[in-house]
A = this chain, B = another copy of it.
Amino acid sequence: MTNQNLAQFKSVFKAENLKITPQRLEVFREMCDSDEHRESEKIYLALRKRNIHVSRATVFRTMDLLYENGFVSRMDIGDGKWRYEHWLDCSHHDHLICIRCGRIVEFFDPEIEKLQEDVCSRFDYQLVRHSHQLFGMCKECAD
Protein backbone atom coordinates (compact mmCIF):
# COMPACT_ATOMS: atom_id res chain seq x y z
CA MET A 1 0.00 0.00 0.00
CA THR A 2 1.58 3.28 -1.11
CA ASN A 3 1.02 6.59 0.59
CA GLN A 4 -0.93 7.63 -2.44
CA ASN A 5 -3.26 4.62 -2.08
CA LEU A 6 -3.82 5.50 1.52
CA ALA A 7 -4.48 9.16 0.76
CA GLN A 8 -6.99 8.24 -1.90
CA PHE A 9 -8.73 5.80 0.42
CA LYS A 10 -8.98 8.42 3.13
CA SER A 11 -10.23 11.13 0.85
CA VAL A 12 -12.92 8.99 -0.79
CA PHE A 13 -14.17 7.56 2.49
CA LYS A 14 -14.23 11.00 4.05
CA ALA A 15 -16.14 12.37 1.07
CA GLU A 16 -18.67 9.54 1.43
CA ASN A 17 -19.05 10.09 5.17
CA LEU A 18 -17.60 6.67 5.87
CA LYS A 19 -15.40 6.32 8.89
CA ILE A 20 -11.80 5.36 8.51
CA THR A 21 -11.60 2.55 11.02
CA PRO A 22 -8.66 0.26 11.77
CA GLN A 23 -10.64 -2.70 10.39
CA ARG A 24 -11.37 -0.98 7.09
CA LEU A 25 -7.76 0.10 6.78
CA GLU A 26 -6.54 -3.44 7.31
CA VAL A 27 -8.88 -4.85 4.67
CA PHE A 28 -7.81 -2.13 2.23
CA ARG A 29 -4.13 -2.79 2.95
CA GLU A 30 -4.66 -6.50 2.38
CA MET A 31 -6.19 -5.72 -1.01
CA CYS A 32 -3.51 -3.26 -2.05
CA ASP A 33 -0.72 -5.68 -1.28
CA SER A 34 -1.98 -8.63 -3.32
CA ASP A 35 -2.52 -9.14 -7.03
CA GLU A 36 -4.63 -12.23 -6.56
CA HIS A 37 -8.29 -12.68 -7.44
CA ARG A 38 -9.68 -13.78 -4.09
CA GLU A 39 -13.07 -14.41 -2.54
CA SER A 40 -13.99 -12.69 0.75
CA GLU A 41 -13.32 -15.82 2.77
CA LYS A 42 -9.72 -15.99 1.50
CA ILE A 43 -9.20 -12.34 2.34
CA TYR A 44 -10.62 -12.95 5.80
CA LEU A 45 -8.28 -15.91 6.31
CA ALA A 46 -5.27 -13.94 5.06
CA LEU A 47 -5.95 -11.30 7.71
CA ARG A 48 -6.36 -14.00 10.36
CA LYS A 49 -3.03 -15.47 9.37
CA ARG A 50 -1.41 -12.12 9.97
CA ASN A 51 -3.07 -12.07 13.38
CA ILE A 52 -5.33 -9.22 12.43
CA HIS A 53 -8.76 -9.69 13.86
CA VAL A 54 -11.56 -8.41 11.66
CA SER A 55 -14.84 -10.29 11.69
CA ARG A 56 -16.16 -12.06 8.62
CA ALA A 57 -19.15 -9.72 8.48
CA THR A 58 -16.86 -6.71 8.46
CA VAL A 59 -14.75 -8.17 5.66
CA PHE A 60 -17.88 -8.72 3.57
CA ARG A 61 -19.14 -5.23 4.38
CA THR A 62 -15.81 -3.61 3.63
CA MET A 63 -15.40 -5.45 0.34
CA ASP A 64 -18.77 -4.03 -0.63
CA LEU A 65 -17.62 -0.52 0.23
CA LEU A 66 -14.34 -0.93 -1.63
CA TYR A 67 -16.26 -2.22 -4.62
CA GLU A 68 -18.88 0.50 -4.56
CA ASN A 69 -16.16 3.12 -4.36
CA GLY A 70 -14.03 1.72 -7.14
CA PHE A 71 -11.05 0.49 -5.14
CA VAL A 72 -11.58 -3.11 -6.17
CA SER A 73 -13.28 -4.86 -9.03
CA ARG A 74 -15.00 -8.17 -8.69
CA MET A 75 -15.82 -11.08 -10.92
CA ASP A 76 -18.10 -14.05 -10.81
CA ILE A 77 -16.83 -17.20 -12.44
CA GLY A 78 -20.01 -19.13 -11.79
CA ASP A 79 -19.26 -20.85 -8.51
CA GLY A 80 -21.29 -18.52 -6.36
CA LYS A 81 -18.48 -16.46 -4.88
CA TRP A 82 -17.30 -12.98 -5.75
CA ARG A 83 -13.62 -12.78 -6.50
CA TYR A 84 -12.05 -9.42 -5.74
CA GLU A 85 -8.90 -7.84 -7.08
CA HIS A 86 -7.52 -4.41 -6.34
CA TRP A 87 -8.17 -1.89 -9.05
CA LEU A 88 -5.70 0.81 -8.15
CA ASP A 89 -4.72 1.53 -11.73
CA CYS A 90 -8.35 1.37 -12.84
CA SER A 91 -7.47 -0.23 -16.15
CA HIS A 92 -10.29 -2.34 -17.45
CA HIS A 93 -9.61 -5.93 -18.45
CA ASP A 94 -11.39 -9.24 -18.72
CA HIS A 95 -10.32 -12.71 -17.61
CA LEU A 96 -9.07 -15.95 -19.02
CA ILE A 97 -9.47 -18.79 -16.56
CA CYS A 98 -7.87 -22.21 -16.65
CA ILE A 99 -10.58 -24.78 -15.99
CA ARG A 100 -8.09 -27.22 -14.55
CA CYS A 101 -5.74 -25.26 -12.29
CA GLY A 102 -7.82 -22.14 -11.82
CA ARG A 103 -5.07 -19.78 -12.90
CA ILE A 104 -6.45 -16.41 -13.97
CA VAL A 105 -4.88 -14.22 -16.64
CA GLU A 106 -6.06 -10.74 -17.50
CA PHE A 107 -6.64 -9.63 -21.06
CA PHE A 108 -7.84 -6.53 -22.82
CA ASP A 109 -8.83 -6.37 -26.45
CA PRO A 110 -9.92 -2.98 -27.76
CA GLU A 111 -11.54 -4.55 -30.80
CA ILE A 112 -13.78 -6.72 -28.66
CA GLU A 113 -14.62 -3.68 -26.55
CA LYS A 114 -15.69 -1.81 -29.64
CA LEU A 115 -17.71 -4.70 -31.05
CA GLN A 116 -19.62 -4.92 -27.78
CA GLU A 117 -20.70 -1.34 -28.24
CA ASP A 118 -21.82 -2.17 -31.75
CA VAL A 119 -23.89 -5.11 -30.53
CA CYS A 120 -25.59 -2.87 -28.01
CA SER A 121 -26.53 -0.19 -30.47
CA ARG A 122 -27.82 -2.89 -32.83
CA PHE A 123 -30.33 -3.84 -30.13
CA ASP A 124 -30.94 -0.29 -28.87
CA TYR A 125 -29.36 -0.90 -25.51
CA GLN A 126 -27.10 1.48 -23.62
CA LEU A 127 -24.10 -0.51 -22.48
CA VAL A 128 -23.41 -0.07 -18.77
CA ARG A 129 -20.98 -2.86 -18.00
CA HIS A 130 -20.06 -6.26 -19.24
CA SER A 131 -18.74 -9.56 -18.05
CA HIS A 132 -16.54 -11.53 -20.38
CA GLN A 133 -14.74 -14.67 -19.35
CA LEU A 134 -12.84 -17.18 -21.41
CA PHE A 135 -12.51 -20.64 -19.88
CA GLY A 136 -9.79 -22.85 -21.25
CA MET A 137 -6.80 -24.94 -20.52
CA CYS A 138 -3.49 -23.22 -19.90
CA LYS A 139 -0.37 -24.53 -21.57
CA GLU A 140 0.86 -26.43 -18.51
CA CYS A 141 -2.49 -28.10 -17.93
CA ALA A 142 -3.02 -29.01 -21.59
CA ASP A 143 0.16 -31.07 -21.79
Cβ contact within 8 Å between A136 and B132: no
Cβ contact within 8 Å between A132 and B135: no
Which residues of the other chain, B, contact A123 by a CB distance below 8 angstroms?
Answer: 96, 105, 107, 138
Identical chains in the assembly: 2
Quick check: is A116 within 8 A (CB to CB) of the other chain?
Answer: yes
Quick check: is A6 within 8 A (CB to CB) of the other chain?
Answer: no
Q: CB-CB contacts of A97-127 with B at 8 A, as 1s and 0s? A: 0110000010101011001101110111111
Cβ contact within 8 Å between B128 and A135: yes
Quick check: is A137 within 8 A (CB to CB) of the other chain?
Answer: yes
Cβ contact within 8 Å between B115 and A115: yes
Quick check: is A80 within 8 A (CB to CB) of the other chain?
Answer: yes
A109, B120: Cα distance in complex, Å: 11
